[in-house]
Each structure stands twice: as C-alpha cells, then as structure tokens.
Amino acid sequence: SGAVVVLVPGFTGSKDDPKTRAVARALLARGHHVLAYDARGHHGSDGLCTLGDLERLDVAAAVAAARERTDRVVTVGASMGAIAVLRYAAASPDLAGVVSVSSPALWRFPRNVRTVLAVLLTRTELGRRIAARRMHVRVSPRWRDPAPPRALAAMIRAPLAVVHGREDRFVPPSEAVLLATAAPNGRLFLVPGMGHAFDPAAIPAIAEAVDWALSASAPSAED
C-alpha cells in the first residue's frame, strides 16, 4: 500500500515484545511499512510514563518520522498506546486512519486482580519502584484528569477502527461499543477469543482494520 503504520504498544510493552513483532509482521505481509517504538519511560526511552497523556507527544514524533516516507499514515495503539493515539488524533486531522485496540471509553474499570495490580503499580510509591525495577517502566507520580477516550473519539475525523476482544477482562467489550459509536467515522471489530491488547487472536482483525481505514480515507476518483 505504501502507507506507514505507527505501532504503539501498551503499558509495559515494547517494540521488541514478541506480540508487537507479530502484529508488525502481519502488517508488513499486507504491504505496509511499520514504525514501532518504546513509549516514554519504557525500557530504553527517556522520560516518565503518564499512562497515555504525554505519550501523545511520542505519537506525534513517530508520525512526523513516518511522514518523511509518505503522507498516508495510520496509527495503531493498544491499551495505553490506544489512549495515546486517540489523544494525538483528536487534534490532528491529517491521519489516514486510527486503530484503537483495547481502549476504555470512560475512566472506569472492573474490580479484579488485574485492575488492582495496575492501580498499585501506578498509584503507589512502592508500586512505581517495582515497575521500574522489574518491568523497566518509570511511572510519573503526577496524574492529570484528561478527557476520556470517548470524548476524544468524537473529535477524530479520520476513520477510526475500534478492535476489542470479547474475552477482555481488563476493559469490558461494552466500552468498545461506546468508543466506536462516538466517532464520526467509526467501525467496531469485536473479536471472539481475544483478550487484552496485542493478543495473538487480535492480529487478523488489526490488519483488517488498517486496510479498512486506508480504504475509507482514500480519495475517490472524483476528488
């Protein structure tokens, strides 16, 4: 296609993670170029993780690099990475498409072991120390209350594909419905057997979502 797909992993994720690499391989097989990176505060990247807020600046830098090759750029983000790409896309009308994977629509999460662990790792000093030592993620102690993803989706003019797992225990599938219906040009991909973020079961849907976004944003013969 000649398009560049900017691939943004979630919290604790990396460009070198096997799951991220598997998504990249699938997109390369479809003829797309892929640019992946580690978000701020993650692994070898400088700065502090802000859980999708200032990460929009990382997305902006990656999109700028992608534009050196082509104007056809699609952003694909998973979980925290999805929040970052939505935040960037809400203020950037020139993307060819946006793919959100496993993003919440509102700031609400089910109470289970995974969500409690996430709160401990990001909202307590001890948890942040553990995240830095064991997961190589440096989390900021400061937290804004930014606009929820559903509000961001309503501002995105590019085609927005929402990919979500029916088996996601971290962000319920009902959040994906809210997100997709808020977008002016949205499409929902609910994936059977898929869990959270770059789950292997998500790969075919992510590839299809990128192709749909590129097709939906392509100029017509009359343009």
Residues contacting 2, CB < 8 A, separation 6+: 31, 33, 70, 72
Q: Please compute the mean of the pLDDT values over residues 168-175 and round it to a whole number.
A: 95
Q: Is the dihedral of CA 99, 102, 105, 107 positive or negative?
A: negative
- DSSP state string for 43-110: TT--S-B-TTSTHHHHHHHHHHHHTTT-S-EEEEEETHHHHHHHHHHHT-TT-SEEEEES--SSS---
- What's the distance, CA 118 to chain centroid? 17
- Rounded to 10°, the helix 80-90/55-66 angle is 70
Specify whether the CB–CB gap between 73 and 3 falls below 8 A: yes
Q: What average pLDDT does the chain have?
A: 94
Confidence of residue 221 (pLDDT cuts 50, 70, 90): very low
pLDDT at 108: 85
Whether residue 146 has pLDDT greater than 90: no
Specify whether the CB–CB gap between 148 and 132 falls below 8 A: no
Q: Please compute the mean of the pLDDT values over residues 166-173 and round it to a whole number.
A: 95
Structural domains of the chain sorted by starting position, each given as residue range(s) with its CATH number in brackets: 4-109+137-217 (3.40.50.1820)
- DSSP state string for 201-216: GGHHHHHHHHHHHHHH
Tokens for 173, please give them.
């599938």
Phi first, then psi: give them for residue 33, nearest 5 degrees: -90, 150
Tokens for 159, please give them.
């085609």
